[in-house]
Each structure stands twice: as C-alpha cells, then as structure tokens.
Amino acid sequence: MRFDVITLFPEMFCAMESGVTGKALQGAQAELHLWNPRDYTEDVHRTVDDRPYGGGPGMVMKVEPLKQALEAAREATPKSRVIHLTPQGQRFDQRAAREMAAREGIILLAGRYEGIDERLVECCVDEEWSIGDYVLSGGELAAMVIMDAVTRLLPGVLGHEESALQDSYMNGLLDFPQYTRPDELQGREVPQVLLSGDHEAIRRWRLKQALGRTWIRRPDLLEQRQLSDEERQLLEEFIRTHQGASASSQEEA
C-alpha cells in the first residue's frame, strides 16, 4: 500500500522507520512518499503560512504552496483519495483501519497552525478524519497513527505469531492480560491455568478475562457486540466472581 503525506515536517516521519511500520517499508508491503509545501513556495522566505481573513490569533496554511504540493501528490498517485487530518473529522477506529487497508493508497494531508483554507477542503479533500477528542499541534502524529494501524493489517506484515486477527478490537473486545517469566513476581503468581498446558482451558480463561475487562472498562463496546452462548456464560461467571470479590473487599474495609 502506498502512503503519500503532505506535511511541513517530513522529518517527523522517521518514526515510521522503527518496528512493524519500518519492516513493512523495507519490504514491499508499504511505501511512504513525503511532499513538503515549503518546496512549492516561490518567495525568498519560503512562506508557508498566511493571516486568517476576519482576523484573530494564529495563522492558516498558505494556499498556493499547499495546493501545489497536493496536486503533485495526486498526479503521482491518481487513484488515492485525499484524507485531511483534523479534529473536525470522523473518529478513526479499527473498522476504519480495516477499510483503509483494503485500498491501494491514501494521501494524508497533515495541517498545521489553525488549519487550511475551507475552499481547499471543498475542492481537493475526499475525507476528513480525527484520531480522538483532543487537540494536537498538527496532523502529522494523526497521520502516523493511521499509517501504523493500517500497515499492521496489510498481508505479510505481521508474522503468524503476532497475527492482527488476535488483536484487541479485531474481535470487538479488549485484550486478555499477558504474563511471562518468572512465575512469581514480588509475591504475585501467574494464574495457574496458564501453566497447565490445557489449551482449551486457557482459551476459555482468556476469553473470560477479555469479556470481563471489556465489561468493566468499556461497557460501550459490549453494547455494540452480540455475545455467543459461550461468551455470555463466561461473562456471567466473571461477573459473579467479580461481585463476590468486591463484596468481600468491602467487608474487609
């Protein structure tokens, strides 16, 4: 998959060279092309910002260099849709990541300052996405979040062991807890079932933990998801032991 990013800070994207995204960029699975509006300026100061009509604090990205950079990217990859990263966009989630991973490429437009001219959005942007309800200083980190989430879903990027199918959210639940050596750490033991070698018991325990955690921490995710008979039964067991445990801790208190 091809990622084209329009950014005033191309050097930030060296972060993509590490880990899973780095491996995908080295292999044939992902490609990254960076387009800097500053390279499309024509004045001696290479100006990339401009004053907002109507006044007020802050600056807006200067139209002409941004438009030129965007047009150059679109020419290089005509089938890719242009995605503007903005807190005003739709909320990005795992479903959006899966959908984007099926595309040949995307052009990610990372705004800076107070944003970009609305007429550029109207003429040249196909989609607007946000990564959450907080304000970042620019779209670059959001672009990298999307690149990471999408890249790990591309065929051949994750090995068998770390398959994305097992991830949190792929099944609509939070992940179960993980443990590694030693089997006792500061008086805390690894749950016995994980040492038992009973794969079916381990599967059921992990599913129960995933359901229980989701019930406690993200009940909204459970409301969006149908439970199988087995899942419903495991969650009921979890809730019973959870309520038993919190009742006895209240007695102690």
Residues that bind ligand 6GU (CB under 6 A): 85-87, 89, 130-132, 134-136, 138-139, 142
The alpha-carbon radius of gyration of the chain (Å, integer) is 24
Of the pair 100, 158, the CB lying nearest ligand 6GU is at 100
Of the pair 69, 157, the CB lying nearest ligand 6GU is at 69
Any idea what DSSP says for residue 237? H
Exactly one of 87, 127, 128, 175 is catalytic; name it. 87
Q: Is 152 a catalytic residue?
A: yes
Q: Is 223 a catalytic residue?
A: no
Q: Is 167 a catalytic residue?
A: yes
Minimum CB separation of residue 114 from ligand 6GU in Å reads 10
> What six digits make up the tokens of 118?
């609305």
Of the pair 128, 237, the CB lying nearest ligand 6GU is at 128
Of the pair 89, 172, the CB lying nearest ligand 6GU is at 89
Q: Which residues contact 232 (CB under 8 A, 6 or more apart)?
A: none
Minimum CB separation of residue 204 from ligand 6GU in Å reads 38
Between CA 102 and CA 153 the distance in angstroms is: 9
Q: Is 182 a catalytic residue?
A: no
Between CA 228 and CA 75 the distance in angstroms is: 48
Exactly one of 114, 162, 230, 236 is catalytic; name it. 114
* Chain-centroid distance, C-alpha 13: 15
Minimum CB separation of residue 77 from ligand 6GU in Å reads 21
Segment holding 5, helix H or strand E? strand 2-6
Give phi and psi for 11, each to the nearest 5. -65, -25
Helix axes 94-101, 140-151, angle to 10 degrees: 70
Minimum CB separation of residue 192 from ligand 6GU in Å reads 43
Q: Would you name the residues annotated as active-site residues? A: 87, 114, 152, 167
